Structure 1
Amino acid sequence: MNYQETLEYLYERLPMFTRVGASAFKKDLHNTIELCKQLGDPQHQFKSIHIAGTNGKGSTSHMLAAIFQQAGYKTGLYTSPHLLDFRERIRINGEMVPTTFVAEFVEQLKPTIESLEPSFFELTVAMAFQYFALEQVDIAIIEVGLGGRLDSTNVITPELSVITNISYDHMQILGNTLPEIASEKAGIIKSGVPVVVSETQSEVESVFTDKAKTLGAPIHFADQEWIVQQSEFAEGRLKLGLQHSHNGDLKTIHTDLTGQYQMKNIMGVLSAVKILQHAGWELPEQTVMTALSHVKKLTGLRGRWEIISRDPLTIFDVGHNQAGITEVVQQLEHMVYRHLHIVTGFVKDKEVSKVLPLFPSAATYYFCKAQIPRAMDEKELAEAAHQHGLRGHDYPTVQQAFQAAKQHAHKDDIVLVCGSFFIVAEVM
């Protein structure tokens, strides 16, 4: 099979959470362990950092990858889902895995795929681990797919674990309360391995401290270690002044990540870097600052408050749950514009009744549906939105909705595309 045939085989053969939802989630690590065993356990052949959380884990992963890469380490990066190209999930020093490797890997494992019947994600994780092992990376940044405890990535023993934050998402799998969700995310904490929690949340703080204490894992809450002295957003860049609460260390950070919400993620990254420096990783301060100013260029990160064009200002953001949309709306409050146009769509398993009230009622909405089985019907979404005072029209495709928004927008308006990775991906 060539690369395109390989992808078609994977999409048709393997259940994919991003397309079909919870039915693709395997509630144990058996398949991943078996796949890795057949490959010679590649997950133990490289050093890693493991990152979980409801929001911000992708940005945090890319920032850490950029720092190691800038410092001269051969750096693997595994993230999900992808926006445009499957190979975005698996990178080394910002370069996507070659198509030939993907095709050859699947061909090699085809008998196992057909007997074991792993999920799409389980196979992708095994592929990433094999690629990183064969390429002998110095370090791999591994982003959890969903949860933590039972996530396919949770077969590694990392140098450091990072948990960004906890919010309501995937409750049908992870639990209905924040402590239940936190308990699943805390599953990545390993015996004796330091853990950074980016954001202190009173409802779940004890979940992490208790788990860390039980396992003898040193725990650090990043927002207790850093004090924000300055925060500016201008010309598509975020400028932060942070002071370390213990030693008074001052840092001025200019980053190409444009969302105000990146502040919490950056504090988590800085706390992670301090721990890694003490562990012997050579991550000079200037290297860290340079990397944070060029994250997109170094790692290929997209879809986080990404400014696509101006006149009108057009922004893509993959925010899709309560916490993510809250951050997006708060960012809008810092913006000056004449009128706001929002292109949005959701997947069926999101609790849209909790998300829709967060959106500004003064905007014009363009409700649409991504071309995946899991997508929520655009007419159903529009009806639900109208009940929350949101006004607009529905469109059968994302492209039609986006074109309508652009046609109606004045040059001083904002066009925002959000609600789902798949909505953003189809516009791209």
Structure 2
Amino acid sequence: MNYSESLAYLYSRLPVFHRIGAKALKPGLANTERLCAALGNPHQKFRSIHVAGTNGKGSTSHMLASIYQSAGYRVGLYTSPHLKSFTERIRLNGNPIAEADVADFVTEHQSLIEAVEPSFFEVTVAMAFDYFAKQQVDLAVIEVGLGGRLDSTNIITPRLSVITNISYDHQDVLGDTLPQIAGEKAGIIKSGVPVVISETQSETVPVFREVADRNHASITFADQVYTVRDEGMRDGYRRVEVTDVNQQTQVYTLDLTGPYQMQNLPGVLASVEKLQTQWPVSRDAVAAGLAAVVTQTGLQGRFQRLHDQPVVLADTAHNQAGIQSVLAAVQSMPHRVLHLVIGMVADKERSHVLQMLPTAARYYFCQAHTPRSLSAEDLRTEAAELGLIGEAFSDVNEALEAAQQNATREDLILITGSNYIIAELTNTIRDPS
């Protein structure tokens, strides 16, 4: 099989979460363990950092990878979902896995895949672990797909576990309360392995402390170690001042310019500090890595500026906390009218998100070309009941074109609501392949 044929095979044969949602999940780690056992247990052949959380885990993973790349290490990075190309999920020093390597893996292990009958995600995890082991990475940053305890990535025993924050998302799988969701995320905490929590949240602190104590794992609440002060934008970068508990101050420039990165940064810095004896990193390497996350790791869709006059921003925020953060950031930026291009998936709770959207904005409702997507007309109808008025479009690019035609140079256009919406933007989000 070539690359296209191998992907078509995986998509047609295996349940895929980004197409059918939670029905694609196969509870438990048995399939991943069975796949990796047949591959010679590659996950035991490289050292890793495991990153979970509701929001920010992707940004945190990419920031860590960029820092260690800047320090000269050979770094694997596994994330999901992808935006443009499947190969984005598996990277070595920022470079996506070669299409030929994907094709070779699927072709060589077709009989194994058919014997195990795993999910699409389980196969991609096994593929990533096999690739990192063969590439002899110095370390791999592994992002959890969903939850933590039962996530396929959780067969690893990392050198550090990182949990960014807890908010409401995937309640049908993870639970209806923050402590329940935290309990699932805390499932990545391993015996004797330190854990860093990026944000202190009163409802989840007892959960994390209890699980860490039970596993004899040291726990660090990063925002109690580092205080971050946003100094605004300068020359296309966000400038931040960080003060640690010893009152030592450092100024960084971030190419991930979303103000919500202020919540992720303490966890990143605490993680690097915690691992200094295993992977030493200089202060200069930290600064260089944080200033070049996009260029070094290929991360896109995080408060990404696509155009000026009017400003066009794309952000993959897709739950209540994520969209709330993005809206707060947008409201702090000077603009006349906000034009909001938005699409959402059908199998998530939407009412709380819609209730927080500003009635003064002008709306362009759209849908992605995936079975999980909520139809633009249904979204428009639900939004109209809350006073959010706009038009429905069958495609995000049509919606964006309409917004650009209606907007003045002083307006601001935000595209958000779903990874799948951002992924279908053309001529603005780069295809890494």
**TM superposition score normalised by structure 1:** 0.98
Verify the 8 A CA contact 1:329 1:358 in the aligned structure 2.
no
Runs of 4+ in 1 over 4 A off after TM superposition: none
Describe the superposition over 1:168-200 as per-residue Cα deviations: whole angstroms up to 9, x where unpaired: 000100011110000000000011111000000
SS at match of 1:173: helix
Describe the superposition over 1:119-143 as per-residue Cα deviations: whole angstroms up to 9, x where unpaired: 1100000000000000000000000
Alignment RMSD (CA, Å): 0.9
Verify the 8 A CA contact 1:231 1:238 in the aligned structure 2.
yes
Deviation at 1:289?
A: 0.7
Deviation at 1:115?
A: 2.2
> Partner residue of 1:425?
423
Verify the 8 A CA contact 1:46 1:132 in the aligned structure 2.
yes
2:274 paired with 1:272: no
> Partner residue of 2:429?
none
Return the alpha-carbon distance in structure 1 between the equivalents of residues 315 and 234 of structure 2.
18
> Partner residue of 1:320?
318
* Aligned mate of 1:356, from 343, 354, 358: 354
Deviation at 1:228?
A: 2.9
Verify the 8 A CA contact 1:256 1:296 in the aligned structure 2.
yes
> Partner residue of 1:335?
333
Return the alpha-carbon distance in structure 2 between the equivalents of residues 112 and 59 of structure 1.
33
Deviation at 1:237?
A: 1.7
Return the alpha-carbon distance in structure 2 between the equivalents of residues 132 and 273 of structure 1.
21
Describe the superposition over 1:92-135 as per-residue Cα deviations: whole angstroms up to 9, x where unpaired: 00111011110010011111222221111000000000000000
Deviation at 1:382?
A: 0.6
The aligned length equals: 426
**2:128 maps to amino acid:** A
**2:425 maps to amino acid:** V
Where do 5+ consecutive residues of structure 2 fail to align?
Answer: 427-433
**1:346 maps to amino acid:** M
> Partner residue of 1:27?
27
Deviation at 1:234?
A: 4.1
> Partner residue of 1:203?
203
**1:296 maps to amino acid:** V
SS at match of 2:154: coil
Describe the superposition over 1:309-363 as per-residue Cα deviations: whole angstroms up to 9, x where unpaired: 1011111000000110010011012100111111111001221101111111111
> Partner residue of 2:191?
191
**TM superposition score normalised by structure 2:** 0.97
Question: In 2 relative to 1, CA 112–176 (structure 1 residues): closer, same or farther, beyond 3 Å?
Answer: same
Describe the superposition over 1:250-277 as per-residue Cα deviations: whole angstroms up to 9, x where unpaired: 1111111110000111111011111011
Q: How does 1:2-401 map to 2 (within 5 A)?
A: 2-245=2-245, 247-277=246-276, 279-401=277-399
Deviation at 1:67?
A: 0.7
Between 1:128-137 and 1:383-392, the stretch displaced more is 383-392
Verify the 8 A CA contact 1:236 1:307 in the aligned structure 2.
no
State, as a whole percentage, how many aligned pairs show the same letter.
53
**2:206 maps to amino acid:** S
SS at match of 2:424: helix
Return the alpha-carbon distance in structure 1 between the equivalents of residues 272 and 343 of structure 2.
37
> Partner residue of 1:414?
412
**1:128 maps to amino acid:** A
